[in-house]
Structure 1
Amino acid sequence: MTFVQLIDCRTSRFDEMNRLMDQWVEQTKGKRTATHDIIGKDRSDAAHFIEIVEFPSYEEAMRNSNLPETDRIFQEMVALCDATPTFTDLDVVRDEQLYAANARRFFETIAAKGELPPLNDLLVEDYHDHDPSNDPDVIGMDAFRRACGEWRGAFDFAFTIEDQMAQGDRVCTRWTFKGTHVGDFFGIPASAREVSMTGATIHRCVPDGKIAEGWWQYDRLGLMAQLGALDALEQ
C-alpha cells in the first residue's frame, strides 16, 4: 500500500533548506526509496511549509529513514526550522489521477458500440489532434468526430490500456488496438480480418479536466500489412 508522509514545518531559511534537500537527493542516488516529493508554501504564511513525500509502502519509508544520509540531512533540516517539525503518516486509501481517468474514458468513448456519444464533456471545442495519418492536423471537436467516424466505420474495435503516466497537464497512454475490418479503410474494402496494433497517445488537459490536444504514434504500417495492403509490394 502506498504510504505518504506529511512534514509540517516553519522556517525563515527556506533557501538553505532547499539546498539541503538537493544535497540529500544527490547523496542518496540509488539508495532512497521515496518516489515523489512535493513542498508547498502556505499562501497566508510565508514561513509555513508542508512537504509531502510518497513511498511505495510504509516498509520502504522506514528503509529510507534508516539511511545515514537521511538521518544527517534531517538533523540539519531541524536546525533550520523555527520549531520542531511535525509528522503525519498516511496509508493511501484512494489515489485518483483525474486527468488520467479522463484519458482512459476518452479511449472507451471513441470505441463505444453504436453511435458515437457526445464528446463535449471530454474535449474542448477547439481540440487539436496530431495524427500522422492526417495532414493537416484535425482541429475542432466536430472535425475529430468525423475522423473517429472513419475508423469506427472501418473497424469494430476496442482499446486495451497497457500503461499510463501522468505529469502536470500531460497524460501518456500506451495502448493496444484490436478489431475486425468491417468497412472501407482508405480504399481497402472490408475483409473481416482480425487486426491489432500498438501505439501511444499523449493528451494535454486543461484545468477542468477536458482534453485540449492529442499526439498519436502507432504502427500504421503493421496495420496495413495485416489488411493485405502491402502484399502487391512484396511480390
Structure 2
Amino acid sequence: MFIQIIQGRCSRQDEMHALADEWREQLGPTADGWLGGTYGFTDDGMFLGVVRFEDREKAMANSRRPEQDEWSRRMAALFDGPVEFHDSDDVTLLLDGGSDQAKFVQIIRGKVDDPGRLKAMMAHGQMLHEMRPDILGATLAVEPDGTYTETVAFADEESARKGEAVMPPDDVRADLEYAMQGATFYDLRHPWFETA
C-alpha cells in the first residue's frame, strides 16, 4: 500500500469538502489503484487528507493525469498558505486499517529512530483491540527518515477519551511513550471517508 498525506491550513472548509466529493465522483472511478481516503479539519482549521493507493507507481501515474493536475491546482487554491505532502509506501495496518464508520479520527505525526519498534506494536492488533475496543483500526505510514503518520479510527470521541485513561501493560506503555515522544496529535471531530 502507498499513502500520501496532505496537510495545510484551510478556512474554506465547505469548498474543500465539495471538491473532495467531486474527485470521488468524477476522478476516483478512473484512478487506477486508488483505494480510498480519510479527510477532515481540526478545530483550528488544519486540513488533513490521508489518501491510499495500491502502490506508489499507480499513485504517481494518477498524479500525471491532466485532469488530476487541473483538480490539484483547484485544491491548492483553497488553502490559506503552504501545503505539506508526505509520501510513504512503508505502511502497516491495524485491524484492516480503519473504518468508514468512525465518528472520530486522530492523526498522529511524529518521528522515531527505530520504525521497526513502532511497526511491531501495530502487529499486535488483537491485543491492542482487546485493550482498546474503541479503536476500529489504524494505518501507520513511515517515511524513510523515520517520520510517521498514524491515522486512528475510533467509534466516537467519548469512547476514545475513556480509552486514553486506561493504563496499558508496562511493555506496551514503554513502546507508546517511545513512539509518542514529541508527536503532534490532530483531532478530526467530523471526519469523512472515500472508498473505491
Q: TM-score, normalised by structure 1?
A: 0.40
Q: TM-score, normalised by structure 2?
A: 0.48
Point out the structure with max Rg over C-alpha. 1
Give the structure, 1 or 2, with the largest relative contact order (CA under 8 Å, sep 6 or more).
2
Please state which structure has a larger fraction of its residues in helix: 2
